[in-house]
Structure 1
Amino acid sequence: MAVVEFINGKNKTYGAMKRVLAYITNPAKTEPYLIDGYNCDINNAYNQFVLTKRNYNKETGRQYIHLTQSFAPYDKVTPEEVKKIADELLQMEFFKGFEIAYAVHTDRDHLHTHFVVNSVNAQTGRKWKQSAKQLQDLKDYSDELCRKRGLIITHGKKGNYKNRGEYRSRDRGQSWKYELYLAVKKMKWYSKNKEDFIKNMEKLGYKVDWRDDRKYITFTTPTGKKCRNRKLYPPEKFTKEALLKAFDLNKQRAKDRELKNRMELVLSLVYVIQSNPDYDAVKNYPLTALEGEALKDEMAELKKGKGLDWDKEKGREF
């Protein structure tokens, strides 16, 4: 079963468009072979989007459309198959002439594809418009593609996956295991070796039992709950080998100071969430609260000085 949803967001600036394109192609969320472009070069999508707008003198207003196609965790479908379904979905007349960057994300317990559509059609110069009928046609065709592959199609309320917010609230929502998953995922890309990873996890309040004579890594949460790395999803991204490979990539791509700065920023954001009374309901799950694009927005605001006295907090260990 696949659910198609349009994501409302701050989509009226070039900066927001650049951020969402970076978000969907983030290597921590997907793989190179699961990223593609329709009517555009995925490696140059942002520039092509901007050039199309300038060619037609339509640089104001809505800059992009963001939609997702999500599959239930119990659907027996592979990332490769989800990518093929996305390829076929874009063949609809609905998308003709539009430049689209898209990527299958594998970082959640359900596979899903993000599509970012340029708001200006590269062939006609017309801006994106969607009628209720076109939206229903899109959902119907998505169902048809799933049905053709033997995937489950659900329309009733019971077991319905359409309310993604309810699903995430129930299966992920504010859970210690999901918070642990986010911590490991982020520290995986902020560490340069095993020792660095363990130290960073400890700064977030987690203990890490990583022994060479044991197959699995055991994490202990700040509240004392234990979980092995094989319980994190997808498990192949959190094996010892996968983590060590990520550390090597980090050493190649970023200097020690850059990694440290990223880590300090995350710790500062965690501190803000935990100390802000407005976030009382999620203060035990700061990374969940800062997940995804919200994290980027929070970082941008904090860099401007909003909500945090950087001079006061400089050098603080959390």
Structure 2
Amino acid sequence: MAVTKTHPIKSTLKAAIDYICNPEKTNGKLLVSAHGCAAETADIEFSWTRRHAIDKGTNLGRHLIQAFQPGEVTPEQAHEIGMELAKEILGGKYEFILTTHIDKDHVHNHLIFNAVSFADHKHYHSNKRSYHYIRRTSDRLCKEHGLSVIIPGQDKGKSYIE
């Protein structure tokens, strides 16, 4: 079962990207992927895209974490599911970096994506509706890959909030 959470990046984009790309956490960077940018220069590329936006918003990017139950998925499977999630929820319109961390007892993905689309230079709007879409998509992908999902109201002691 995967749980997701997301938060804005307001001022530390390079630090956040450096953190998620840490070779000690990503099997020597084998579990690092990018779309529309290079992981090494993503902060600069995100900034260039933002400069062309009319509505820049207040965020530099978004950080999404997708954590899996211990022992339920291999790092490679988690990375594949994370890529599928990123491509589906972002529609190929936003630059992103996806990494899979293997340094804890549970495998988890970090997805950092630009707050502005490089396709139409529109700002990403994060709200309850967009978050529930992410969660539903993550659950569907987990089911498609034979993983368990949290069923609200049925899984005692388990919730997305945890």
**Which deviates more, 143-152 or 93-102?**
93-102
Instruction: Tell me the distance in 1 between the aligned counterparts of 2:110 and 2:32.
Output: 10
Matched, 1:89 2:48: no
- State the match for 1:7 in structure 2: 7
Alpha-carbon offset, residue 83 of structure 1: 0.6
Contact 1:12/1:60, CA 8 A, preserved across alignment: no
- State the match for 1:163 in structure 2: 161
* Secondary structure at the counterpart of residue 70 of structure 1: strand
Alpha-carbon offset, residue 85 of structure 1: 0.3
* Secondary structure at the counterpart of residue 144 of structure 1: helix
Q: Name the aligned partner's letter for residue 160 of structure 2.
A: K
Instruction: Tell me the distance in 1 between the aligned counterparts of 2:67 and 2:89.
Output: 21
Equivalent runs, 1:1-318 vs 2, <5 Å: 1-7=1-7, 11-13=9-11, 16-31=12-27, 32-56=29-53, 61-75=58-72, 77-92=73-88, 94-155=90-151, 156-160=154-158, 162-164=160-162
* Secondary structure at the counterpart of residue 99 of structure 2: strand
Higher relative contact order (CA 8 A, sep 6+): 2
Contact 1:94/1:134, CA 8 A, preserved across alignment: no
- Per-residue CA deviations over 1:57-81 (Å, capped at 9, x if unaligned) read 6666211111111101142x10000
- Per-residue CA deviations over 1:159-189 (Å, capped at 9, x if unaligned) read 415234xxxxxxxxxxxxxxxxxxxxxxxxx
Alpha-carbon offset, residue 88 of structure 1: 0.8
* Secondary structure at the counterpart of residue 65 of structure 1: strand
* Secondary structure at the counterpart of residue 90 of structure 1: helix
Alpha-carbon offset, residue 93 of structure 1: 5.0
User: Percent identity among equivalent residues?
Assistant: 29
Structure having the higher Rg: 1
Instruction: Tell me the distance in 2 between the aligned counterparts of 1:161 and 1:64.
Output: 26
* Secondary structure at the counterpart of residue 100 of structure 2: strand
Relative to structure 1, is the Cα distance of residues 163 and 134 closer, same or farther in structure 2, using a 3 angstrom cutoff? closer
Q: Name the aligned partner's letter for residue 3 of structure 1.
A: V
Contact 2:89/2:134, CA 8 A, preserved across alignment: no
TM-score by length of 2: 0.87
Runs (5+) with no aligned partner, structure 1: 165-318
- Per-residue CA deviations over 1:224-262 (Å, capped at 9, x if unaligned) read xxxxxxxxxxxxxxxxxxxxxxxxxxxxxxxxxxxxxxx
Higher helix residue share: 1
Contact 1:72/1:161, CA 8 A, preserved across alignment: no
Q: Name the aligned partner's letter for residue 131 of structure 2.
A: L
Instruction: Tell me the distance in 1 between the aligned counterparts of 2:60 and 2:98.
Output: 16
Runs (5+) with no aligned partner, structure 2: none
Higher strand residue share: 2
Instruction: Tell me the distance in 1 between the aligned counterparts of 2:53 and 2:122.
Output: 9
Count residues with an aligned counterpart.
159
Contact 2:68/2:106, CA 8 A, preserved across alignment: yes
TM-score by length of 1: 0.47
Instruction: Tell me the distance in 2 between the aligned counterparts of 1:22 and 1:154.
Output: 31
